[in-house]
Amino acid sequence: MDPTIEYAFGVGDGHTTTWTSVADADLDGDGRLDAVWLDFDGDGRRDDAMWDSDGDGIADTAVLDADGDAGRHFHDSGRGLWDQPVERSADDPSGARPGRQDTPESGGREVRPADPPVDAPPAEPSEPGPAPRPGRVPDEPAAPSPAAPSTPRVAEPDVGESDDPGTTRVLDLNRDGRVDAELHGTRRAGIPVATHLYVDENGDGTFDRVLVDTDGDGRADATHDRRWSGFRRR
């Protein structure tokens, strides 16, 4: 049985959704599958990866352009944004070394670079509003600060599967002004809970695939392409 990798995504409000996928990449070259290929930056190529570098079954590093000589590595700050750049280190077997940061658990405050790299995973839009269709994202009144991801937009979903008004979260992962993915779900005790993740795999402005959490445990149970009868995004 092929190994599986757990990884979590969030929108910066403290709540994350965990997904589980079959590993299909070997990033450290030891002959064992230890990562999942994805397309984070919307370039139409599945050349980015969620990497389980320590073999515990949980992704601890997001790698952009992992098919290159080095790639760009990021760790998660605990909010599912994967927004902590990781320094490359020649003497580290994993090929990556996290920069210094204080954590809430250590009694300090989280410290981020004052001038983060322009290619770091982006913050979410800060102003609430209706979810746009795949394609160009409407201009915001003011751009959010890259160093402090803000509250994402929340809107009524167009899923037609429940009387619950639900939520929709729009994700522009590479900050190019185009929607890369949408999280759809419901609210439980006032907390947004994702049930569907629609993904534009090739960057053409149209959603091609959906990951579905059918039992509400926070993990993806099935994946479907546009031919699925329950595919409800354009």
- What does the mean pLDDT of the chain come to? 70
Instruction: Quote the pLDDT of residue 54.
Output: 92
Residue 66: half-sphere exposure toward Cβ, Cα within 13 Å? 26
Question: Is residue 117 situated within a structural domain?
Answer: no
User: Tokens 């695939």 appear where?
Assistant: 209
User: Given this model, what pLDDT does residue 189 score?
Assistant: 62
Of the pLDDT bands very low, low, confident and very high (cuts 50, 70, 90), residue 107 is: very low
pLDDT band, residue 6 (cuts 50/70/90): very high
Position 111 confidence tier, pLDDT thresholds 50, 70, 90: very low
pLDDT of residue 221 exceeding 60, the answer is yes
Give me the pLDDT at residue 121, please: 52
Same domain? For 226 and 130 the reply is yes
What pLDDT score was predicted for residue 133? Answer: 54
Q: Are residues 228 and 140 in the same domain?
A: yes
Q: Full-prediction pTM beyond 0.75?
A: no
Question: What's the number of domains the chain is made of?
Answer: 2
Whether residue 57 is predicted with pLDDT greater than 70 in this model: the reply is yes
Percent of the chain with pLDDT over 90: 10
Instruction: Tell me, yes or no, whether 54 and 22 share the same domain.
Output: yes
- Whether residue 160 is found in the same domain as residue 63: no
Is the CB of residue 8 less than 8 Å from the CB of residue 163? no
Q: What is the pLDDT of residues 170-208, one digit of tens each?
A: 777 777 778 888 878 777 666 667 788 888 888 888 888
Predicted local confidence at residue 161, as pLDDT: 37
Domain that holds residue 14: 4-106
- The proportion of the chain whose per-residue pLDDT surpasses 70, expressed as a percent, equals 62
> Are both 97 and 153 inside the same structural domain?
no
In a domain, 112, yes or no: no
- Cβ–Cβ < 8 Å for 38, 50: yes
In a domain, 177, yes or no: yes
Highest mean pLDDT among 11-25, 144-158, 190-204, 211-225: 11-25
Joined together, the tokens standing for residue 206 give 């149209």
> How many Cα atoms sit within 13 Å of 213 on the Cβ side?
18
Task: Render pLDDT for 9-25 as a digit per residue (tens, 0 to 9).
Answer: 888 787 888 889 999 98
Segment among 1-10, 49-58, 166-175 with least mean pLDDT: 166-175
